[in-house]
Amino acid sequence: MRVMFAASEAMPLVKTGGLADVAGALPKALAKQGAEVTVVLPKYGEIPQAIADAVTTIAVMEVRLGWRTQYCGVQEVTVDGVRFILIDNEFYFKRGYLYGYGDEAERFAFFSFAVLEMLDKLDRLPDILHCHDWQTGLIPFLLKTRYANRPGYRDIRTVFTIHNLQYQGVFSRELLQDLLSTGDDSFTQDSLEFYGAASCMKAGLRFADKLSTVSYTYAHEIQSEEYGEKLDGVIRQRAQDLWGILNGIDTDVYDPMSDPHLAVNYRNSLEKKLQNKLALQRELGLPEREDVPLVGIVSRLTQQKGFDLIAEALPELMELDVQLVVLGSGEPGIEAMLRDALLANRDKMALWFGFNEGLARRIYAASDMYLMPSRFEPCGLSQLIALRYRSVPIVRETGGLKDTVAPYNEYTGTGNGFTFGPPTAHDMLYTIRRALAFYGDREHWERIVANGAKKDYGWESSAKLYCKLYRELVS
pTM for the model: 0.94
- Overall residue count recorded for the chain in this entry: 475
Structural domain includes residue 255: no
pLDDT at position 32, please? 95
**Integer Rg of the chain from CA:** 23
Structural domain includes residue 343: yes
Residues 6+ apart with CB under 8 A from 433: 320
With CA atoms as reference, report the closest residue to 17 among 370, 286, 380, 297.
Answer: 380
* Whole-Å CA distances, 112 to 34, 71, 109, 204, 457: 27, 14, 5, 12, 32
Report residue 96's pLDDT band, with 50, 70 and 90 as the boundaries: confident
With CA atoms as reference, report the closest residue to 115 among 81, 68, 55, 158.
Answer: 158
Domain check: are 337 and 359 in the same one? yes
Domain check: are 235 and 313 in the same one? no
Task: Please provide residue 13's backbone torsions phi and psi, each rounded to the nearest 5 degrees.
Answer: -85, -55
User: Does 304 have pLDDT greater than 90?
Assistant: yes
User: Cis peptide leading into 140, omega within 30 of 0?
Assistant: no
CA within 13 Å, CB half, 122: 22
CA within 13 Å, CB half, 241: 19
pLDDT at position 257, please? 97
Q: Which residues pair with 326 in a beta bridge?
A: 297, 351
Residue 53 has a CB neighbour count (10 Å cut-off) of 8
The tens digit of pLDDT for each residue in 160-202 reads 999 999 999 999 999 999 999 998 989 999 999 999 999 999 9
DSSP character at residue 234: H
Structural domain includes residue 253: no
Bridge-based pairing of strands 197-199 and 210-213 is unpaired
Report residue 355's pLDDT band, with 50, 70 and 90 as the boundaries: confident
Domain check: are 189 and 274 in the same one? no
Task: Please provide residue 467's backbone torsions phi and psi, each rounded to the nearest 5 degrees.
Answer: -65, -35
d(CA 182, CA 13): 34
The 3-state DSSP class for residue 266 equals coil
CA 409 to chain centre: 30
Structural domain of 465 = 2-248+460-474
Structural domain includes residue 174: yes
Domain check: are 334 and 217 in the same one? no
Q: Rounded mean pLDDT of 6-14? A: 96
Domain check: are 281 and 430 in the same one? yes
Q: Which residues of 349-371 are buried (b: 16+ CB within 10 A; e: fewer)?
A: bbbbeeeeeebbbbbbbbbbbbb
Q: DSSP letter string over 361-400?
A: HHHHHH-SEEEE--S--SS-SHHHHHHHTTPEEEEESSHH
Residues 6+ apart with CB under 8 A from 92: 42, 70, 103, 106, 107, 110, 111
Q: Rounded mean pLDDT of 351-373? A: 96
pLDDT at position 17, please? 85
| CATH at residue 115 | 3.40.50.2000
Structural domain includes residue 283: yes
pLDDT at position 202, please? 98
Domain check: are 81 and 60 in the same one? yes
Q: Rounded mean pLDDT of 207-227? A: 98
With CA atoms as reference, report the closest residue to 139 among 239, 206, 82.
Answer: 206
CA angle 79–83–84, rounded 5-degree value = 85
pLDDT at position 145, please? 95
Task: Please provide residue 260's backbone torsions phi and psi, each rounded to the nearest 5 degrees.
Answer: -75, -10
User: Does 290 have pLDDT greater than 90?
Assistant: yes
Q: Which residues of 260-280 are buried (b: 16+ CB within 10 A; e: fewer)?
A: eebbebbeeeeebbbbbbbbb
DSSP strands (E only) in 25-135: 36-42, 56-65, 68-79, 82-88, 128-132
Domain check: are 437 and 470 in the same one? no
The tens digit of pLDDT for each residue in 412-443 reads 999 999 999 999 999 999 999 999 999 999 99
Structural domain includes residue 256: no
d(CA 166, CA 20): 17
User: Element (H or E) spanning 326, and its range?
Assistant: strand 323-328
User: Does 325 have pLDDT greater than 90?
Assistant: yes
Domains in the chain, number: 2
Report residue 276's pLDDT band, with 50, 70 and 90 as the boundaries: very high
User: Does 259 have pLDDT greater than 90?
Assistant: yes
pLDDT at position 408, please? 98
Domain check: are 337 and 199 in the same one? no
Structural domain includes residue 262: no
Q: DSSP letter string over 167-191?
A: ---EEEHHHHHHHHT--GGGSSTTT
pLDDT at position 151, please? 93
Bridge-based pairing of strands 294-298 and 242-244 is unpaired
Structural domain includes residue 258: no
Domain check: are 350 and 317 in the same one? yes
261 near 288, Cβ under 8 Å?
Answer: no
d(CA 372, CA 395): 5
Report residue 338's pLDDT band, with 50, 70 and 90 as the boundaries: very high
d(CA 212, CA 304): 21
Domain check: are 447 and 468 in the same one? no
Domain check: are 207 and 280 in the same one? no
User: Does 475 have pLDDT greater than 90?
Assistant: no
Domain check: are 26 and 103 in the same one? yes
